[in-house]
């Protein structure tokens, strides 16, 4: 991750904060899918080189999370 880019750094903080929320919610309610999506959001900023990759992975994960929760 490029620490010289303030917008990328701030995006990483926001994505990770949402990940922590999903992780804690999944842990509290014993919901595996919320827990896994939270872990995904916590890990994605470490490997994302651009904001497009970071927000794209978060968006695709959110759509998959919604479809799994709605169908299950």
The residue extents of the domains of the chain are 6-71
Q: Which tens digit of pLDDT belongs to each residue from 2-42?
A: 678 888 999 999 999 999 999 999 999 999 999 999 999 99
d(C-alpha 45, C-alpha 12), whole Å: 5
Q: Which tens digit of pLDDT belongs to each residue from 42-69?
A: 999 999 888 999 999 999 999 999 999 8
Average pLDDT, the chain: 91
d(C-alpha 38, C-alpha 20), whole Å: 6
pTM of the model: 0.84
């Amino acid at each position: 991750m490029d620490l010289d880019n303030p917008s990328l750094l701030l995006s990483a903080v926001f994505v990770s904060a949402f990940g922590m929320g999903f992780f804690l919610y999944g842990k509290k309610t014993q919901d595996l899918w919320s827990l896994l999506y939270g872990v995904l959001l916590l890990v994605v900023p470490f490997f994302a080189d651009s904001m497009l990759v970071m927000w794209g992975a978060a968006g695709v994960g959110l759509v998959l999370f919604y479809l799994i929760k709605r169908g299950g």
